[in-house]
Amino acid sequence: MSDVPALLVALPILASVLALLVGQWRPRAAWAVAFLGTAVQVGAAGLLAARVLGGETVRYAVGDFAAPYGIELVVDGLSASVALLVAVVAFGVLLYSRVAGPREPAFHAQYLLLVAGLSGMSVTGDVFNLYVFLEITGLAAYALVASGESGRAAVGALKYLLIGTVGASLYLLGVGYAFIVTGTLNMADMAGTLGSEIAYTHPAVLTAFALVVTGLAVKSAVFPLHTWQPEAYASAPDGVSAFISALVSTVSAYAIARVIVSVFTVEFFRANPVAQDLVVGIAGLSVVAGSVLAVTQTEVKRMLAYSSVSQFGLVVAAFAIATERAVTGGTVHLIGHAVMKGGLFLAAGAVAAATGARYVSEYRGLASRRPFLAGAVAVLALAMVGVPPAVGFVGKWYIALAAVEAGWWFIAAVILSSTLLTLAYFARLVERMYFASAPTAAAGTADAVGATPDAAVADGSGETAEAERPGTPDRVTPGVVALVVAVAVLSVALGFAATDFAQLLRPTLPELLAP
Amino acid sequence: MVEFTAVPPAVPVLAVAALIPLLSRRVGHALGALVSAGVMAWSFLVPEGAYLDVAFLGFDAVLFNVDGFSRIMGIVFGLIGTAAVVYSYYSDAENVQTAYALSYVGTSLGAVFAGDWLTLVFFWELMAVTSTLLVWDYGGPAVRAGFRYALLHGIGGSLLIAGIVWHYAAVGTFLFGSLEGVDHAAGMAGTVPQILAALGIGVNVGFVGLHAWLPDTYPRPHIAASVFLCVFTTKTGVYGMYRAFPDGHVWIAYMGGAMAVFGASMALLQNDMRRLLSYHIQSQVGYMVAGVGIPAALATSGAFGHVYNHILYKSLLFMTVGAVIYRTGEESLKKVGGLAREMPVTALAFTVAALSISGFPGFNGFVSKGMVVEAAHKKHWDALWYLLLAGGVGTFMSFIKLGYYVFLHVPDSETESAGSRGPPGGPSTVPHIQEVLVLAAIALVGFFLLKKPLQKLAGVPDADAAYEPLTFYGTRGVVRGVTEAYAAVDRAAVALASATMAAARDPSRVKRYAPGGREEIGMDPEQGRAPMDTTIGTSILILTVVLTVALVVLLA
């Protein structure tokens, strides 16, 4: 049983190699391997979560080297939740990619590698090991973005690669500083050394904090370090953008939380209030700037991408406030956002496949043409705005309440204003779909009901390669629509489950917050 | 009696709302009317007390709280829900619109039966959503009005939430103070929450200055939608105001007086029939707000009595005016006239409703309005008393105007006074009746004196003349401003970086570029505008700057 954490990492890597090999023999078989791999992953992560979400912590020493020297995998309630999220989303998006592609064996190999990297980041208890998984995640994600064969995807991936690598390097540099003063890489050990043997105000510790948090902030796309993200999400194939938007930034934000609460601990903030001010301030800025930038977008996927910038600002702010309620809220919102945003990207992909619509203006009258897709988009969008009882409301509510309790009035105000801005950009979409009449044929772009499947050619983006993406499906199957609708239902259902989930997290959190 | 309290009334109404689009028009509307009537009976029968204590988001909440105030709201909401659904059926409303309307009714019921602020605000926000949908459903100019409506209510709701959260921080529970076993005083605790709640609720009840959404939104949607809208939002607001200020507040009372006068005077200047009625909502809600604001049992009873009466006659007014619009297709007073002969029943119903709203002896408005006015008089808040009386004159005048132009218009003029034969049926004293008769006389004389000037005055701008451009240009300004500022910062940063690098590489070039190079870095030559995407180099530069700032701040 205690081997399960290692299995979470090893299994997808093995499956990845297997998928590549089997794929040479028969390309469709690669999907089956990936399917089996992620299904087992869901089972393993679920098993682990069921055991851990009660307060127990599972530890696994890699290669039987004892903790301070060897690498340790540590799973508590927080990391098990994220690992389960990774497995479930990977499974769901894989179902989508069977219809929507890409279908090459290489895609499935990279996909499983990304799952391995993300799971590793969730369960590791070692700061250097975290860097290794960060790089595995990054490399797999760069390759996946580039797998869209348009020029736009290549440029987007290159930008992502360069900026992401610099971010990861900053993180490594920060780990180096921390290692020099503490002499250990194990998270628990480092937390024990900091504060007792090395003062929190030691310049090297402060430098390490700045480097580590800045590096991870690049990966979670917090404003103004988000510049790689909109283009990467918008240019990637639809299945890929759903997957990386739901998970890559999410797990990086989890890593920020882990570093803040488990390595530097809340004592560090008490000793350096200015560090807390800095992180909360940047996060608050990100919330507002991301929302405002999202309002200015005309392309749906870019709008969703900027929306993520805003939501991750909120999550990072919650983790930086670092009270029990705030971390609960941050975790709920982290998971809720992954479900909602992944679902929105899937829906955007399905809408593009069905009607060719990729711009907000092209969504007009969608409700009459594609009632289920439009309904799912509307539900997910309202959930994201934070309309109760959806999960988006619960997360925001906990964070707002925690901000008020901890005296961060600024964050409470930011949350309220960002809710209005979120309403502004999603209301635009919903209004287009439900209350604007369907476009006339003269509009020149996607036609009404009888639209040819390849109407995307004329979507006016100026990118001729846009429509020639490999794997763009000819039709949207009922299965895809059902998947999108299921995610929409899930986003509401999670809202009801969130209170119980918060109860389950309870035993884990005080231990983390008051070491 | 257990079965009465097992679910809050909102649940069946919302369930029926979800069903209606699937049913035929006849069955759907019948079911809607039936469930609303059921709610009325249910509210009447259910015993007092707080039911359904649950933990909501980890806080104590009471989903179904019955006391005298929520009971009367439930009864009257059920009554009007029934009438309005039947009206929808006969005015050719679509099933979808009625479904939106019923979901709006359901969320309002949820709000008034809430036993704690958290549940109240939860349904409060849902009400804003469902009523916006109801407006949007009509399409056309209703969509933009709906946007302004949603924006203003979003701001109001946020203010209320802020007030509630502050209140929670002060007392440690969301439950109403009026519940048993809750040990803080009823109402909002502390000055700041009171201000925030008053402003937030003030949007819903239409405080002067925050009222622009009312005449802006209500005349635009389908005539049956107007009937629904005129009832629920403002009345739930009055109820919320009472919960926040159970002991009243002098400023709120005076705001109510101001609303009464302002609404009535603006109504007098309108030519669009439904717009005129919308201003009267503000005016009448002014009386209720004044009643809530005056700290006396008589005033509070008057306020809630007026809620009940107002809902009856105001929905009747919207129905009769809707009937006129339905019949003639005209919205403006200038285009209709002399309809008394064509639509005698409508004219009669209108006369009854108009006399009620004017508080004429023998009609229901007389009693409840009289209670509020009397309470102001007893308190010796004389300025408020005069304001409320002046509002009464304005109400008389504007309804004489409406009735005159719609139903008479032709030179024979004295028919309107026929209603004055009704014997005094209210529990009031002779001087009180004299007072109202004097008001009516003043109004009648005043109207015919002012008829000519009033015709010229139509189209006087209200606050929404400023609001409409403000929301539009405001939103656009924010978006543009941010985009341009972002682009400008981006350009400046890139220009600075390139200039520095160029200068470092080849100092002699500085001189060449110094007078001001013509090349604008960061501009996309093809698009001719600043691209939102930063280049890779700029991104790394920003990253470096952020890191440097972080280090400087931390190590300083």
Interface membership of A295 toward B (CB under 8 Å): yes
CB contact under 8 A, A431 and B550: no
- B380 contacts: CB under 8 Å, gap ≥ 6: none
3-class secondary structure, A406: coil
The answer to whether A455 and A445 have CB atoms below 8 angstroms apart is yes
Write the residue in A159, A167, A431 that is nearest to B143 by C-beta. A431
CB contact under 8 A, B547 and A210: yes
CB contact under 8 A, A405 and B169: yes
From the candidates A201, A212, A214, A423, which should be mutated to test the interface with B, based on the most B CB atoms within 10 A?
Answer: A214
CB contact under 8 A, B126 and A387: yes
Mean pLDDT in residue range B403-429: 49
Interface membership of B539 toward A (CB under 8 Å): yes
Per-residue pLDDT reduced to its tens digit, A440-459: 544 444 433 433 344 333 33
Upper half-sphere CA count for residue A349 (Cβ side, 13 Å): 34
CB contact under 8 A, B532 and A293: yes
Which range (B90-94, B110-114, B475-479) has the least confidence?
B475-479
| CA dist., res. A17 & res. A40, Å (int) | 16
| The pLDDT value given to residue A167 | 92
CB contact under 8 A, A224 and B546: yes
DSSP B53: E
Write the residue in A218, A230, A404 that is nearest to B543 by C-beta. A218
More confident of the two residues B446 and A60: A60
| CA dist., res. B222 & res. B326, Å (int) | 10
Interface membership of A496 toward B (CB under 8 Å): no
Interface membership of A387 toward B (CB under 8 Å): yes
Interface membership of A174 toward B (CB under 8 Å): no
From the candidates B546, B548, B549, B552, which should be mutated to test the interface with A, based on the most A CB atoms within 10 A?
Answer: B546
Instruction: Provide, as residue numbers in chain A, all residues whose Cβ is less than 8 Å from the Cβ of B136.
Output: 431, 434-435
Burial class (CB in 10 A: 0-12, 13-18, 19+), B297: exposed
Interhelix angle A371-385/A478-505, rounded to 10 degrees, is 20
CB contact under 8 A, A296 and B540: no
The answer to whether B543 and B493 have CB atoms below 8 angstroms apart is no
Give the A:B interface size as CB pairs under 8 Å.
118
Q: Which residues of B, range 125-154, sit inside 8 Å of A by Cβ?
A: 125-126, 129, 136-137, 139, 143, 147, 150-151, 154
CB contact under 8 A, B147 and A207: no
**Residues of B226-248 as b/e, b for ≥16 C-beta within 10 angstroms?**
bbbbbbbbbbbbbbbbbbbbbeb
| The pLDDT value given to residue A177 | 92
The answer to whether B459 and B268 have CB atoms below 8 angstroms apart is no
Residue tagged 């060449």 (tokens): B512
- B500 contacts: CB under 8 Å, gap ≥ 6: none
| The pLDDT value given to residue A173 | 94
CB contact under 8 A, B536 and A159: yes
Chain centroid to CA A509: 21
CB contact under 8 A, B539 and A420: no
Nearest-CA distance A355 → chain B (Å): 24
Write the residue in A166, A206, A213 that is nearest to B555 by C-beta. A206
Cα distances from B516 to residues A6, B240, B495, B504, B519, in angstroms, run 61, 62, 11, 18, 9
Nearest-CA distance A317 → chain B (Å): 16
CB contact under 8 A, B125 and A387: yes
Instruction: Provide, as residue numbers in chain A, all residues whose Cβ is less than 8 Å from the Cβ of B555.
Output: 203, 206-207
Per-residue pLDDT reduced to its tens digit, B6-24: 678 888 888 888 888 888 8
Interface membership of B422 toward A (CB under 8 Å): no
- B322 contacts: CB under 8 Å, gap ≥ 6: B87, B91, B223, B224, B226, B227, B274
3-class secondary structure, A509: helix
Which range (A14-18, A156-160, B156-160, B212-216) has the least confidence?
B212-216
Is the confidence at residue B516, as pLDDT, over 60? no
Cα distances from B400 to residues A93, B365, B434, B495, in angstroms, run 66, 16, 19, 69
| CA dist., res. A135 & res. A149, Å (int) | 23
Q: Which residues of A, range 70-99, sit inside 8 Å of B by Cβ?
A: none
Residues of chain A with pLDDT under 70: 1, 437-475, 514-515
Phi, psi of B175 (to 5 degrees): -65, 150
Mean pLDDT in residue range B49-57: 71
Which range (A6-20, B129-143, B153-167, B460-474) has the least confidence?
B460-474
First to last CA, chain A: 27
- What is chain B's alpha carbon radius of gyration, rounded to the nearest angstrom? 28
What ipTM was assigned to the predicted interfaces of this complex?
A: 0.76
| CA dist., res. A131 & res. A168, Å (int) | 7
Write the residue in A274, A282, A292 that is nearest to B554 by C-beta. A274
Write the residue in A166, A275, A296 that is nearest to B479 by C-beta. A296
Instruction: Provide, as residue numbers in chain B, all residues whose Cβ is less than 8 Å from the Cβ of A225.
Output: 539, 542-543, 546
Which range (A93-97, A236-240, B321-325, B446-450) has the least confidence?
B446-450
Nearest partner of B356 among B403, B413, B322, B323, judged by Cα: B403
| The pLDDT value given to residue A316 | 92
Q: Dihedral angle at the C-alpha atoms of B82, B88, B93, B98, nearest 10 degrees?
A: -20
Q: Which residues of A, range 298-337, sit inside 8 Å of B by Cβ?
A: none
Chain centroid to CA A66: 32
CB contact under 8 A, B486 and A170: no
Write the residue in B55, B486, B551 that is nearest to A207 by C-beta. B551
| CA dist., res. A388 & res. A394, Å (int) | 7
| CA dist., res. A110 & res. A236, Å (int) | 14
CB contact under 8 A, A162 and B542: no
CB contact under 8 A, B151 and A228: no
From the candidates A364, A399, A435, which should be mutated to test the interface with B, based on the most B CB atoms within 10 A?
Answer: A435
Write the residue in A159, A227, A404 that is nearest to B165 by C-beta. A404
* The dihedral sign for the CA sequence B250, B395, B219, B320: positive
Interface membership of B548 toward A (CB under 8 Å): no
| The pLDDT value given to residue B427 | 39
Chain centroid to CA A361: 27
| The pLDDT value given to residue A460 | 38
Kind and range of the H or E element at B180? none
| CA dist., res. A9 & res. A2, Å (int) | 13
- What is the reported pTM? 0.61
Write the residue in A163, A419, A424 that is nearest to B540 by C-beta. A163
A208-A210-A212 Cα angle (round to 5): 65
Interface membership of B483 toward A (CB under 8 Å): yes
* The dihedral sign for the CA sequence B161, B166, B169, B172: negative
Nearest-CA distance B353 → chain A (Å): 35
Instruction: Provide, as residue numbers in chain B, all residues whose Cβ is less than 8 Å from the Cβ of A429.
Output: none
Cα distances from A367 to residues A229, A435, A436, B221, in angstroms, run 29, 9, 9, 21
Interface membership of B190 toward A (CB under 8 Å): no
| CA dist., res. A346 & res. A383, Å (int) | 15
Write the residue in B57, B137, B158 that is nearest to A420 by C-beta. B158
What residue spans of B137-272 are helical by DSSP H? 141-171, 191-205, 213-217, 223-244, 250-268
Chain centroid to CA B398: 21
Instruction: Provide, as residue numbers in chain A, all residues whose Cβ is less than 8 Å from the Cβ of B539.
Output: 159, 163, 225, 227-228
CB contact under 8 A, B151 and A420: yes
Write the residue in B58, B126, B550 that is nearest to A499 by C-beta. B58
From the candidates B125, B126, B536, which should be mutated to test the interface with A, based on the most A CB atoms within 10 A?
Answer: B536
Band of pLDDT at residue B426, cut at 50, 70 and 90:
very low
Cα distances from B133 to residues A244, A270, B399, in angstroms, run 34, 48, 31
The answer to whether B252 and B240 have CB atoms below 8 angstroms apart is no
Is the confidence at residue B523, as pLDDT, over 50? no
Greatest mean pLDDT among A103-107, B35-39, B51-55, B342-346: B35-39
